[in-house]
Amino acid sequence: MSASDGAVVGTTQILNNGPAARRFNIVILSEGYQQAQLGQFANDAAAFVTRLSRTPPFHLVMNSINVFRVDVSSTDTGADDPVTCGGGGGTARTYFDATFCGDGTNQRLLTVNNTLALQVANAEVPQHRLVVVIVNSPIYGGSGGPVAVYSLAANAVDIALHEIGHTAFALADEYETFRGCASGELDHNNHPAVEPAAENVTVTGFNNIQRLKWRRYVRAGTALPTTRNANCAVCDPQPSPVPSGAVGAFEGADTYHCSAYRPEFDCKMRTLASDFCRVCSDVILHRLWQFSPLSVRFAWKGVGGDQTLYNGRASESYQYHLPDFKSSTGPALISDNQGAFMAWKGISNDQGIYYSVLRHIDGVTWDTQHNVPGVGTSTGPAAAMFQGRAYLAWKGAFNDQGINFTRFEGGLPAAQRNVPGVGTSTRPALAVYRGRLYMAWKGIANDQSMWFASFDGNQWSAQAPIPNVGTSAYPALAVIGDRLYMVWKGIEGDQSVWFTSFDGSRWAPQAPVPNVGTATGVSLSAGPDRLFMAWSGVAGDPSLYYTTFDGRTWGRQHNYLGTGSSAVPAVHVRYYG
């Protein structure tokens, strides 16, 4: 029942996203696995990594994470299960001395010798940021102290994700009971009047938006508090009065029936089967973006009549107002050879095209805007880097549905050229694939079909149809894994989002991006191993969202910053290694 009851066998890195000195390193230790069972532990650790990569919001920042598996054998299988808490009374000789009933009262509190676990992690992976112990027992249990601990009960990885919320991100429990709602407990009726340090629970400000910790996520008109428990002797049985995902102040949290409030009705810190709530997700992202080799930047115009442009990064919790940059449509955003490059149409009836670059060391200050002389568009430009130069392409001004393009030479735009024989009523999309500049676009006027062509630096290929697809907006293009991906909003009346891919000879059948919708369209940008997509919501919802696609699975959407746009936001990913 100590380190004499087993041995540290070895360490294997099972997820490598870069140097340990610059990543969020997770160490997974085995507990209660006999030597012959370490193959099972390898599978259990791999299952944890797979699930982590598909769990919001971790799917957005997996490039930040390395994972190391440390094989530790034990003499016996499982963990101690004291009769004190109703357990079977079994004892197990294990390396980290795992036991249920870790506090003497709560059977599901599964603990280990934290000091020893940290010693092993320090010796094997000195730059670890999180230590997770998997206990080889089918009995439900876990804990989230200095190390995160979970058993192999049903929904095992959900237990792990909940406990990681405590250990790595200092999140509080959002459930409203200590021993269970059916336990009859009376010592957890009212939370002490001391404000918790955790970002996801409050005892103050629940009825005052100005004092509420998570006020920037609360939509106007939301009742505060959003729910009250009418009987503090029991858990609140009422259903949510607001739609899933709405942020407010819901009474019952931090293991108390009353006097503590959580941000959403449900969350993984309350119910294992749920996703992390908006507040918890942003706490997780804020921590993990610090370790990412990616810079993910967004740019957008305001809502409705607000034609000001804004920008911000996924790693930040605030937006930057660009008061001198204004547009009636969404901008285009790319990286050039020295920093970020943004182009946009002017306000209202100003059909001019403008651009600026971001060079300042602060990563915030954009240069003065410049005009692309002698050109105009009614819809806004598309942008891409091709053969070391920034290219722009756009629909013409007013009723001109032709497509024109230019490239930048020495930092200045060359004379515009026309793409012969093509036309669109919206804006085109650009991306570089297999050494050629590809362009896709919606047809003219009421033609909702889509077309594509490519450019070798001298001339454009003939246009060709993309079969069996259509849009009332405009498409987005990006490349990962030697495939060109196209994503778009559906035809008139269809706010679904669809995608396809091109292998150099044919387009795959279209498929829906699950559980997302937009009234305006989407933008794409490629990281080293996944696409990032950004969009504003369906009609009536101008909120900004983003997600990722790893070539197999689309992640769940994440609401960005609590801000909004009435046009398509731009997203751009830059990889720093």
Q: What is the pLDDT of residues 161-208, one digit of tens each?
A: 999 999 999 999 999 999 899 999 999 999 999 999 999 999 999 999
Q: Which helix (H) or strand (E) holds 26?
A: strand 24-31
Domain boundary among 119, 134, 167: 167
Residue whose C-alpha is closest to residue 527's, from 500, 551, 493: 551
Q: Are 10 and 82 part of one and the same domain?
A: yes
Angle at 548 between CA 487 and CA 41, to 5 degrees: 140
Q: Are 311 and 436 part of one and the same domain?
A: yes
Question: How many domains does the chain divide into?
Answer: 3
Q: In angstroms, rounded to a whole number, what is the distance separating the alpha carbons of residues 564 and 392?
A: 25
333 beta partners: 342
Residue whose C-alpha is closest to residue 566's, from 304, 378, 305, 325: 304
Q: Are 449 and 485 part of one and the same domain?
A: yes
Q: Are 299 and 438 part of one and the same domain?
A: yes
Q: Are 536 and 406 part of one and the same domain?
A: yes
Helix, strand or coil, per DSSP, at residue 64: helix
Domain boundary among 151, 167, 183: 167
Q: In angstroms, rounded to a whole number, what is the distance separating the alpha carbons of residues 369 and 326?
A: 10
Side by side, the strands of the sheet bearing 483-489 are 476-480, 483-489, 496-502, 511-517
Q: In angstroms, rounded to a whole number, what is the distance separating the alpha carbons of residues 340 and 574?
A: 9
Q: Are 122 and 182 part of one and the same domain?
A: no
- Asked whether residue 574 carries a pLDDT value surpassing 80, the answer given is yes
Q: Are 480 and 412 part of one and the same domain?
A: yes
Q: Residue 360's pLDDT is what?
A: 79
Domain boundary among 259, 277, 292: 292
Q: Residue 1's pLDDT is what?
A: 56
Mean pLDDT confidence for 534-557:
96
Mean pLDDT confidence for 23-33:
99
Residue 328 in contact with residue 347, Cβ under 8 Å?
yes
Mean pLDDT confidence for 14-41:
98
Q: In angstroms, rounded to a whole number, what is the distance separating the alpha carbons of residues 428 and 451?
A: 10
Q: Are 17 and 71 part of one and the same domain?
A: yes
Q: What are phi and psi of 288, to 5 degrees?
A: -80, -30
Q: What are phi and psi of 114, to 5 degrees?
A: -60, -40
Q: Residue 376's pLDDT is what?
A: 98
The distance from CA 126 to its chain's CA centroid, rounded to whole angstroms, is: 28
Mean pLDDT of the chain: 96
Q: Residue 408's pLDDT is what?
A: 96
Q: Are 227 and 237 part of one and the same domain?
A: yes
How far the first Cα of the chain sits from its last, in Å, is 43
Q: Where are the alpha helices (DSSP H) in 127-206?
A: 156-167
Helix, strand or coil, per DSSP, at residue 271: coil
Q: Which two tokens stand for residue 215?
A: 């006020």
Residue-wise pLDDT for 203-236, tens only, equals 999 999 999 999 989 988 999 999 999 999 999 9
Q: Are 507 and 448 part of one and the same domain?
A: yes
530 beta partners: none
Q: Are 226 and 259 part of one and the same domain?
A: yes
Domain with 360 in it: what CATH number? 2.120.10.80
Q: In angstroms, rounded to a whole number, what is the distance separating the alpha carbons of residues 528 and 533?
A: 14
Mean pLDDT confidence for 447-452:
98
Pairing of strands 65-74, 24-31: parallel
Which domain, by its residues, includes 536?
293-575
- Asked whether residue 155 carries a pLDDT value surpassing 90, the answer given is no
- Whats the size of the chain, residue-wise? 577
- Asked whether residue 338 carries a pLDDT value surpassing 90, the answer given is no
Q: What are phi and psi of 395, to 5 degrees?
A: -75, 150
Mean pLDDT confidence for 382-402:
98
572 beta partners: 297
Q: Residue 331's pLDDT is what?
A: 98
Domain with 39 in it: what CATH number? 3.40.390.10
Q: Are 136 and 180 part of one and the same domain?
A: no
Q: Residue 336's pLDDT is what?
A: 81
Cis peptide before 57 (omega within 30 of 0): yes
Q: Residue 2's pLDDT is what?
A: 66
| 341 contact partners, CB below 8 Å, separation of at least 6 | 333, 334, 335, 355, 356, 357, 358, 383, 390
Residue 468 in contact with residue 517, Cβ under 8 Å?
no
pLDDT band at 361 (very low <50, low <70, confident <90, very high): confident
Residue whose C-alpha is closest to residue 226's, from 189, 200, 264, 271: 264
- Asked whether residue 489 carries a pLDDT value surpassing 60, the answer given is yes
- Asked whether residue 562 carries a pLDDT value surpassing 90, the answer given is no
